[in-house]
Amino acid sequence: MSKLSLRDMLGNHISEGTHFALISRRQREGGRALEYLQGKFCELASLSEIADIRNSRAAPGSSCRSLTLIPFRQIAERGFEVVNDATPLLNMIVARTTLHHESELDFVRSPAKAKVSSADFDIDDDAYAEIAQEIIHREIGYGSGSNFVLKRNLCGTVENFNLDRALEFYSNILNTERSAYWTFLVWTGAEFLIGATPERHVTSRGGEISMMPISGTLRLDQQSSISHLMSFLNDQKEVEELQMVVDEEMKMMCRLCPDGAVVTGPELVHLSSVIHTAYHISGLSSASIADTLTHTMFSPAIVGSPVQNACRVVARYEPKGRGYYAGVLALTEIDDEGELTLDSAIIIRTAYVAPDGRFTIPVGATIVRDSCPESEASETRAKASALLTAFQGNSSSSRASNIIDTTSDQVSEALQFRNEGLNKSWLRSRSETKRPISGSSPHKMLIIDGEDDFTQMLRMQFERSGLDVHLASAQVDLPFDNFDSVLLGPGPGDPTDVSDRRISSLYDLAGQLLTSETPFVAMCLGHQIVSRRLNLPIRRLTPPNQGIQKYIDYFGRDILVGFYNTFAAFACEQPLEGIHFKQSIEISRDINTGEIYGLRGKSFQTAQFHPESIISRDGSLVIEEMARFLKDACKPLNRRSVGLAGR
């Protein structure tokens, strides 16, 4: 196919009202390929309709494919709060696919640079920094979550914009962003999406699904050096930022993978203006494509954590909605064996260009407890700069990131050192982490979910300890008889907020568990609720313990574990003798501050930290001990049913 025919073909499709995409992506066998996909986008009502369009199997050799644009508002399918900006869920049944060489786009290069006018952010640097500071104080500082992504838009106009300009911009991005996961140009019939995303969303092939959590950002310029990179790799804020995202994506993977998931990495992902750090997570799953996409909406790296509450925060601070930003571009196809496969990319670092040349480039930064708001504003500028540079015709392949040798032993050692303090149970191969075969009457545990999918990781860890685990929401009326033990799970929010039905439900349940001496354990929010039941004071921490590791003495064992809490219980004396629910209660606490790390009575044990977290090096030992404790404390629960909500 000649170079001209590709251009003519694209032009004809626009005039005929058909749609197309050009996608350069990594191939399984190595290298990259430029794929041309042509068809017609149709609007879907929900992701479940993808299953209606595609069968799970097709004849070997079938070329059947579909391309799906998933907007951020689609997260409403998970029941999460979101601004409904009416951005459509689009699906294209691909009628034609051809492979091309990137050089076929060279003919569109114009000797005159494109003129970009009125390019500026819709929220200026000072206003953005003020909003970031408010999130740190009001949201992270009061227990809404550990991190949140705040977006703003770079807006402007490309003068004399047309198809040739769109292809030229795309060609420039291809030349500058060689390390992107996907580089794409999509014509929807209403606008062009032109982007280079560094981040895989989720892939599914041969029964294995994979995700690629990315976080941490080093801004690059011509003065960047190996010393800047090493400082970035050893910056605790950047380390913690990535670890928090890994925890969030592990929650998703544990929901989809019955036998758990394995974390590998970390590695560097370097684009023209920034370098990121990333891990890979993989596991075996039989979930459908629609379910896989639904339960991975959306990457915490672009939303925040925990994801459900982060959506509430995003809705408060971004009232206009997100469009396709932080959504997903997904390619579904049939492989040579007739199996349905999925490859997908997160829609970031993407320009949305209308036919008249007006464009929007949404960019965001992750706000954590120790963020510098002004630096986060600068980070968004760096992320937008590569696309703006491509618009302006500066496509030199001499990138700032090429100045730094990212393959040196020094860099490799710094990356591997990051794993030293992590929970090794998530870093082992799948053959080492299979759940044990239960006996004829396995110990049955009910986990009460406080709106944090850390419960999915807790389920996996306790199953590996031989328990038969079931989950229930704190806001669903469900009896807990017929279970041997209960786990009061983690969740966001203020444990003293009696107006929150979720909190009041957990509080009532904690009282009944203590009174009945039902064996139970409690984590984080659950621990705080039990502490309230024992009349221990709850205080807000300044600064909060969101995503940090601590060495603590936990009932005589020195352990390194991860904390995600803004509130904590305190005590100055131990043990609590005789007056609390007829139990003598031991306390694990900081001897200097009185902050409580755990409580233990004859029928229960609690932990303020998250033993299931990737950042809890010794978490597996704690969970194994808790499982033994519950089995030893267990007695048949032939009690009346007790509801979990509405009390």
Mean pLDDT along residues 282-294: 94
pLDDT at 639 over 50: no
Mean pLDDT along residues 561-583: 76
pLDDT at 537 over 90: yes
Evaluate whether residue 56 is within a structural domain: yes
Report DSSP letters for 288-318, one per residue. -HHHHHHHT-S-HHHHEESHHHHHHHHHHH-
- Claim to verify: residue 390 and residue 452 sit in the same structural domain: no
- Tell me the per-residue pLDDT of 236-258, one tens digit each, with 9 for 90 and over: 989 998 999 999 999 999 999 99
Residue 264: what pLDDT?
96
Lowest-pLDDT range of 218-227, 364-373, 375-384 = 218-227
Closest CA to 361 of 128, 120, 182, 169: 120
- Claim to verify: residue 49 and residue 186 sit in the same structural domain: yes
Among the candidates 367, 394, 421, a domain finishes at: 394
Residue 100: what pLDDT?
83
- Claim to verify: residue 478 and residue 386 sit in the same structural domain: no
By the 8 A CB rule, do 547 and 244 touch? yes
- Give the single-character DSSP code of 339: B
Lowest-pLDDT range of 171-175, 423-427, 431-435 = 431-435
- Claim to verify: residue 463 and residue 578 sit in the same structural domain: yes
In angstroms, the CA 642 to CA 129 distance is 48
- Tell me the per-residue pLDDT of 136-170, one tens digit each, with 9 for 90 and over: 999 999 888 889 999 999 999 999 999 888 998 99
In angstroms, the CA 199 to CA 176 distance is 16
Evaluate whether residue 539 is within a structural domain: yes
Average per-residue pLDDT for the chain: 87
Count the residues in the chain.
647
- Tell me the per-residue pLDDT of 479-514, one tens digit each, with 9 for 90 and over: 677 899 999 999 998 999 989 999 999 999 999 999
Evaluate whether residue 422 is within a structural domain: no
Mean pLDDT along residues 356-366: 95
- Claim to verify: residue 130 and residue 63 sit in the same structural domain: yes
HSE-up of residue 174 (Cα within 13 Å, Cβ side): 24
Q: What angle do CA 578, 584, 589 make, to 5 degrees?
A: 125
pLDDT at 461 over 80: yes
Residue 388: what pLDDT?
86
Residue 560, token pair as written in the block? 């390194």
Q: What residues pair up with 379 in beta bridges, in sequence order?
A: none
- Claim to verify: residue 379 and residue 522 sit in the same structural domain: no
Active site residues: 524, 610, 612
- Claim to verify: residue 382 and residue 449 sit in the same structural domain: no
Q: What angle do CA 380, 386, 389 make, to 5 degrees?
A: 120
Query: Strand 182-187 relative to strand 358-367: parallel, antiparallel, unpaired?
Result: unpaired
pLDDT at 399 over 80: no
- Claim to verify: residue 193 and residue 319 sit in the same structural domain: yes
By residue range, what is the domain housing residue 589? 437-634
Q: What percent of the chain has pLDDT over 70?
A: 86
Evaluate whether residue 424 is within a structural domain: no
Position 578 confidence tier, pLDDT thresholds 50, 70, 90? very low
Q: What percent of the chain has pLDDT over 90?
A: 63
Among the candidates 394, 424, 453, a domain finishes at: 394
Q: Residue 55 corresponds to which amino acid?
A: N
Q: Higher model confidence: residue 9 or residue 578?
A: 9
- Claim to verify: residue 445 and residue 388 sit in the same structural domain: no
Evaluate whether residue 312 is within a structural domain: yes
- Claim to verify: residue 483 and residue 566 sit in the same structural domain: yes
Evaluate whether residue 276 is within a structural domain: yes
User: CATH number, domain at 509?
Assistant: 3.40.50.880
Position 115 confidence tier, pLDDT thresholds 50, 70, 90? confident
In angstroms, the CA 203 to CA 329 distance is 12
Among the candidates 378, 394, 410, a domain finishes at: 394
Residue 57: what pLDDT?
44
Residue 374 burial by Cβ neighbours in a 10 Å radius (0-12, 13-18, 19+): middle
- Claim to verify: residue 464 and residue 583 sit in the same structural domain: yes
User: CATH number, domain at 132?
Assistant: 3.60.120.10
For the chain, what is the domain count?
Answer: 2
Evaluate whether residue 83 is within a structural domain: yes
Q: Residue 98 corresponds to which amino acid?
A: T
Provide the 3-class DSSP secondary structure of residue 140: helix
Evaluate whether residue 226 is within a structural domain: yes
Dihedral (C-alpha) 468, 470, 474, 477: value to the nearest 10 degrees? Answer: -120
Residue 506 Cα to chain centre, angstroms: 26
In angstroms, the CA 208 to CA 291 distance is 14
Q: What residues pair up with 173 in beta bridges, in sequence order?
A: none
- Claim to verify: residue 483 and residue 574 sit in the same structural domain: yes
Residue 2: what pLDDT?
42
pLDDT at 14 over 50: yes
